[in-house]
Amino acid sequence: MPAVTWSDVEARARTVPLGPVLRRGGTDDLLLRGLVTDSRRVVPGSLFACVRGASSDGHRHAGAAAAAGAAALLADRPVDVALPVLQVPSVRACLGPLGALLAGDPAAALRLVGVTGSNGKTTTSTLVRGVLEAAGTPTGVVGTLGAAVGRRSRGTALTTPEAPELHELLRWMVDAGARRAVVEASSIALDMGRIDGLRFDVAVFTGFEEDHLDHHGTIEHYWASKARLFGSDRAAAGVVVVDDPWGRRLADQAPVPVTRVGAAEDADVRVLGWRTGAAGTEVLLADDTGGHRVTSRLVGRVHVSNLAAAWATGRVLGVPAEEIAAGLAAVAPPRGRNTVLGGDGRPVVVVDYAHTPRALAAALATARDLRGPGGRVHLVLGARGRRDRYKRQGLGESARAADVVWLTNEGSHGEDPAAIIAELRVGLLGGGAAVRTVPDRRAAISAAVRASGPADVVLVVGRGHETRMLDTTDPRDAVHLDDAEVANTALIAEHGPPAAVAARAERAS
């Protein structure tokens, strides 16, 4: 990380228009390296930001930061620690601008795309990166699956990291040769200022439904948080999927030029038709240059609008149509987004991150598309503890479209797993699905695979790419659990590997 003087830090803090900035101690030429919000990550020379959180206050850890070698503090109240302090009205409001400064303002060397939406952020971000790479532009991406540039990757704890970490990741990408970056922008990140200090060439909206109301309180606040990405101070242009009323509202109200995407006749990038199967998805699109046929390895109708949004983003950025098509065709499915296992004489297993009622309904529609003649859909369903209780009944209602529902635990985070399952079951009342309750998730996935025949589909939802599951409030208690790994083991144990299935079929013939 580059060294930055104390006087430069003070000057950047004064650009945040919230009130007076008071510097206590430290010479102008005091050198700082990196902005840190966790005292356990402090290294000698760090500027430690005393961030107030929902359950902790960084001011209480200022002493630990000093002991670890912090050179100065960023605080919003007096701190009894013998270090230079920059006291500001809001520490959180300064994280973006100061994080950028202490990372060397890496965003100035990048053209950025921001992607937000209730569902589809990760897939669309991956597709947009593929389009830009196909056009010959080295591109990084940061989001739910972590950060990547070239063949290198790094893990992240949040979909959109805290601002100092985000700017460090952008610096890492610039140093690796990236010229563009795609950033997933969650509603909570937009609400909490994690992308402050960034300006996007294009902001993308993938769609909207109720989610994260435990944080936002109301759906209007949730929508308004996402709409912030489309302010003229944050983005130069927008790409908006208008297949729901919230998308149309955003397209109508955004102060930046918007490219509308969807099936509607007034869409600028219009979906004329599509088909999907185990081999992938094909979409017919029309824009101002005519009709275009797009193919993708991604499986499921849910990806139709993601592909169309990525196409539109490429066009807004000036990528030729043939390069966009090549990029979309080359992108491998993101981990845990309609990941398809089995088949070839065994049941098909689909592992997906669907965790909202509408996403679940779309995943079930994909599962039905993948059935063989007379096949059934087995759904393995849970809900995350201590999060968004209001949507559990809606998940149960969407689950009625399955033939068999295996209710199980998805990580209770200290809540009673039986109570979570009971709330899901309420939504299933009145439906025709057979319901089985198997609280142990490994056992539920394995039982669903054992109960399935070659024409059936097992849909495992909720965790997708995640490999750690937590049933207490202490993150140290998390255990390894990879849904795809469990499903694949069950497929082999019950039906054998694909080669063995083919050999048995050949002998039988």
| pLDDT of 318 over the 80 cut | yes
Query: How would you write 286-330 as a 3-class SS string?
Result: EECCEEEEEEECCCCCCHHHHHHHHHHHHHHCCCCHHHHHHHHHH
Q: In this predicted structure, what is the pLDDT of residue 217?
A: 58
Q: In this predicted structure, what is the pLDDT of residue 215?
A: 55
| pLDDT of 48 over the 50 cut | yes
CB of 90 within 8 A of CB of 17? Answer: no
Lowest-pLDDT range, 191-195, 443-447, 452-456, 503-507? 503-507
Sheet holding 152-154, edge to edge: 152-154, 146-149, 139-143, 180-184, 111-116, 202-205, 238-241, 258-262, 269-277, 280-287, 290-296
Residue 410 gets which letter from DSSP?
S
pLDDT digits (tens, 9 = 90+) for 180-213: 999 999 888 888 888 988 999 999 999 886 555 4
How far apart, in whole angstroms, are the C-alpha atoms of residue 384 and residue 390? 12
Of the candidates 311, 308, 301, the residue with the CA atom closest to the CA atom of residue 276: 301
- For the segment 222-238, the average pLDDT, to the nearest whole number, is 91
| pLDDT of 509 over the 80 cut | no
pLDDT digits (tens, 9 = 90+) for 95-109: 999 999 999 999 999
Beta pairing, strands 139-143 & 377-381:
unpaired
Question: pLDDT grade, residue 218 (50/70/90)?
Answer: confident
Tell me the torsion sign for CA atoms 433, 437, 441, 443: negative
Which residue segments constitute the domains of the chain, with CATH numbers given?
4-97 (3.40.1390.10), 106-330 (3.40.1190.10), 339-499 (3.90.190.20)
* Mean pLDDT, all residues of the chain: 92
Distances 290 to 127, 162, 329 between C-alpha atoms, Å: 21, 42, 19
Q: With pLDDT > 70 as the criterion, what percentage of the chain qualifies?
A: 96
| pLDDT of 414 over the 50 cut | yes
- For the segment 355-373, the average pLDDT, to the nearest whole number, is 92
Distances 487 to 417, 446, 452 between C-alpha atoms, Å: 21, 6, 12
pLDDT digits (tens, 9 = 90+) for 244-262: 898 999 999 999 999 999 9
Q: In this predicted structure, what is the pLDDT of residue 504?
A: 47
pLDDT digits (tens, 9 = 90+) for 259-310: 999 999 999 999 999 999 888 999 999 999 999 999 999 998 889 999 999 9
Tell me the torsion sign for CA atoms 217, 464, 167, 56: positive
Q: In this predicted structure, what is the pLDDT of residue 352?
A: 93
| pLDDT of 35 over the 80 cut | yes
How far apart, in whole angstroms, are the C-alpha atoms of residue 299 and residue 338? 6
Q: Which two three-digit tokens encode residue 122?
A: 């990760």
- For the segment 205-222, the average pLDDT, to the nearest whole number, is 69
Q: Is 20 exposed, middle or buried (0-12, 13-18, 19+ CB in 10 A)?
A: exposed
pLDDT digits (tens, 9 = 90+) for 162-178: 999 999 999 999 999 99
Residue 106 gets which letter from DSSP?
G
| pLDDT of 508 over the 50 cut | no
How far apart, in whole angstroms, are the C-alpha atoms of residue 307 and residue 298? 9
3-state secondary structure of 210: coil
271 φ/ψ sector (left φ>0, alpha ψ -120 to 50, else beta):
beta
Q: In this predicted structure, what is the pLDDT of residue 500?
A: 53
Residues of each annotated binding site? 39, 159-160, 186, 194
| pLDDT of 1 over the 80 cut | no
